[in-house]
Chain A
Amino acid sequence: MFALSPVEWEIIQLSLKVAFWSVLCSLPLAVAVAFLLARAEFPGKSLFDALVHLPLVLPPVVVGYFLLLLLGRRGPLGALLDEYLGIVVAFRWSGAAIAAGIMGFPLMVRAIRLSIEAIDTGLEDAARTLGATRLRIFFSVTLPLALPGVFTGTLLSFARSLGEFGATITFVSNIPGETRTLPLAIYTLTQVPGGDAAALRLSIIAIVLSVIALMLSEWLVRRSQQRARGHDD
């Protein structure tokens, strides 16, 4: 039987918690950035675009290191957060979520941007002639029609978060019960003698989680595409 040990449970729950919060917090920002990139023209747009995509091409360790410099207890931002809001993210699970969110951000933006770009701007013009404000058009026309891309982006980023390793271990280290997510736990087990069997078990769990996430998102994407095309009944 494939019964999970309490430690394994803890790792899975922590991994899901980190991935869930990283996706949830980066989603609104990713939608806003995707909308800007898809619809707005402004000076420095290509630089901004490159900046958004940076985590995709940089070594994750570099991202983690910069996060540590910035958000560490003595980092400029980290010190401010600690002093005024009492928030500490370094070496905490919330820091792992931030690292994972940043690493998955370009994937999320890309998918959402593509689906916004595929929307006929004529529909938005039609909404304007009917008296809608830009904000209302965004929530009543653009966003519902971009949902397939939002779901795809969410999944890609969620999967990326579950697998995040380099930035996480550099920024928040590898603390059992706090920042030791699945990939970190697997890595740790491969470093100790006799840990192979346990590492394999966790690897299988990782595969199962990924497949479930993939299937769920496929289903959501298909559903939302049908809705957007108006074939759901």
Chain B
Amino acid sequence: MIDVRITRRLAGFSLDAAFTSDSGITALFGRSGSGKTTLINAIAGLVTPDDGTISVNGMCLFDRARGIDVPVRRRRVGYVFQEGRLFPHLTVRANLRYGFDLAKADERYIEFGKVVELLGLEALLERRPAKLSGGEKQRVAIGRALLASPRLLLMDEPLAALDHARKQEVLRYIARLHQEISVPIVYVSHAVEEVVQLAETVVLMAAGRVVASGAVGEVMGRADLRAQGIDFEGGTVIEARVAAYDSAYDLATLEFAGGQLKVPGIAAAVGEAVRVRIRARDIAIALTEPVDISVLNVLHGSVVDVKAGDDARAVVRVKVGMTVLTSRITRYSADRLKLVPGCPVCVLIKAVSLN
């Protein structure tokens, strides 16, 4: 359980953020400059808020009113920095042992060998950070933070400096680690795919404020935020399973509670669970099933509701099987197709717009 409620004012920027989460992985999501890093720096104690409270699992780390400000080294908040920040003069083994040796024996909840195995670090132990690839560095950084047996693990865009393949590799390690160890993680990112793949709770930030927070599907589905002047494209998050993979076309078939979806270039094996986000503007609506069309995903459903905006757009929610998809079309189209609740429609999703 993480409970944060802080304010901090600087010249030209003010942070006034509050969120609560009791999930395994909480994503702080927003553009750069929205205050995400300042927020987790405050949780770690690297930045002192002007006012507010911070508590993790019932342990108060900061409370201005009560004069509590636990020193960084006593907070037991692990931190995986964007640039890794491995100690360049130490081997991987010594880096990993740094926090491990400092942790009190009765507070340790993880074994050295377990972390090495979980993050695949065995072959790297005697190397120095300069000789590691970007992905390896981040794995070591995660391992180092984890071995200090933190009560909370902060990750500040740990994949930002990596290429796509490395991102997928490290993402899978993080997901795996989360399954094996029950340490709560706060994951900072501005990349939707990472947030959708990892997080259970999403805290959406803009200009130093929390504009939305809640379950990943709910927050990512918010189609009303754009109207509030926040640069955020809502969409539907679908929990799916890889049913088949066509290597000739690099096309995966996913099954979800609503039917099947064809998605290109997915980094998961057949049988694995994945989350897919479909942006509202990538969903088109037709009254009859079109023929001779390039769009691969055509799903049948019925309209739940239609919300016309103040501008040219309208948001249409369509129930497909057990899933409700959010679509953004023009108000003109919604009127022309005479979309009303209960109306049977076809939902069209271009495969290339996914992933």
Contacts and interface: CB of A to CB of B under 8 A. Distances in A.
Nearest to A147: B89
A145 B88 CA distance: 8
B72 A128 contact: yes
B204 to A, nearest CB: 26
Given A227-B89, A230-B88, A231-B128, A131 B83 contact: no
B89 A131 contact: no
Contacts, number: 72
Given A145-B88, A145-B89, A230-B131, A127 B98 contact: yes
Interface residues of A, number: 24
B148 A130 contact: yes
A140 B78 CA distance: 19
A230 B102 contact: no
A230 B89 contact: yes
Contacts of B280: none
Contact of B102 (A132, A141, A145): A132
Given A123-B85, A227-B89, A129 B129 contact: no
Interface string A99-137: 000000000000000000000101101111111110010
Nearest to A144: B89
A158 to B, nearest CB: 24
A233 interface: yes
Contacts of B78: 129-130
26 contacts: A122-B85, A123-B87, A125-B85, A126-B81, A127-B98, A128-B72, A129-B44, A129-B72, A129-B73, A129-B75, A129-B79, A129-B145, A129-B148, A130-B145, A130-B148, A131-B73, A131-B76, A131-B102, A140-B87, A141-B87, A145-B89, A228-B88, A228-B89, A230-B88, A230-B129, A230-B130
Given A122-B83, A141-B87, 19 more contacts: A123-B87, A126-B79, A127-B87, A127-B98, A128-B46, A129-B45, A129-B72, A129-B78, A129-B145, A129-B148, A130-B73, A131-B74, A131-B76, A131-B99, A136-B102, A145-B89, A230-B88, A231-B130, A232-B128
Interface of A: 120, 122-123, 125-133, 136, 140-141, 144-145, 227-233
